[in-house]
Amino acid sequence: MRLSGLEARKRFAAARVARLATAGADGQPLVVPVTFAVETGGAGGDRGDARGGADPPATIVTIVDHKPKSTRTELRRLRDIRANPLVSLLVDHYDDEWARLWWARADGLARIVEAGDPRHAAAAAALTARYRQYRQVPPTGPAIVVAVTRWSGWAYSESPTAP
């Protein structure tokens, strides 16, 4: 069953990890797991649907953190966003009991914000509040700020805890 924008956003926000999908100027897709925070009241929003109606605007933030990477400033996801700001983020729940399956997706426009910008500090604060690991080592790399333009999702059943 199709999820309303509001329900998709609710399930998305409760997840601990998302997959960020980008594509560069060459159209080659890239999908990477990211930690994230959903902020309400930012730019973006939900176009709504017949079942869910309009939803307050939301922004999703993620930051290149201290976990081992080949580089912190020239990651392909950052190059892709500079070339093509259209992105999607996906969260899902799998269970061998398929009545519990669901996924939620946020589509939007991304921009990169560097450390020193007040918007970066706000993103770092949101992530630090959400993940205890960042309280020990706050994220300092470039932030990706996504203005959500559409929430969508699917679930086998209405209840995320169906038997």
> At a CB cut-off of 8 Å and minimum separation 6, what does 125 contact?
none
Whole-number Å distance between alpha carbons of 105 and 155? 12
In the three-class reduction of DSSP (H, G, I as helix; E, B as strand; rest coil), residue 82 is classed as helix
- Pairwise CA distance, residues 116 & 40, whole Å: 22
Q: What are the DSSP calls for 87-156, one per residue? A: EEEEEEE--SSGGG-EEEEEEEEEEEE-TTSHHHHHHHHHHHHH-THHHHS---S-EEEEEEEEEEEEES
| Parts of the chain with a pLDDT under 50 | 42-53, 163
Q: Distance between CA atoms of 153 and 163, rounded to whole angstroms? A: 20
According to the model, what pLDDT value does residue 75 have?
Answer: 93
What confidence score (pLDDT) does residue 32 get? 97
pLDDT of residue 40: 82
In angstroms, the CA 102 to CA 117 distance is: 36
Buried b or exposed e, range 53-69, using 16+ CB within 10 angstroms: eebebbbbbbbbbeeee
Identify the structural domains of the chain with CATH numbers, from first to last.
5-155 (2.30.110.10)
Q: What pLDDT was estimated at residue 52? A: 42
Predicted pLDDT at 139 = 93
- What pLDDT sits at residue 41? 66
At residue 66, the pLDDT reads: 76
Q: Quick check: pTM over 0.85? A: yes
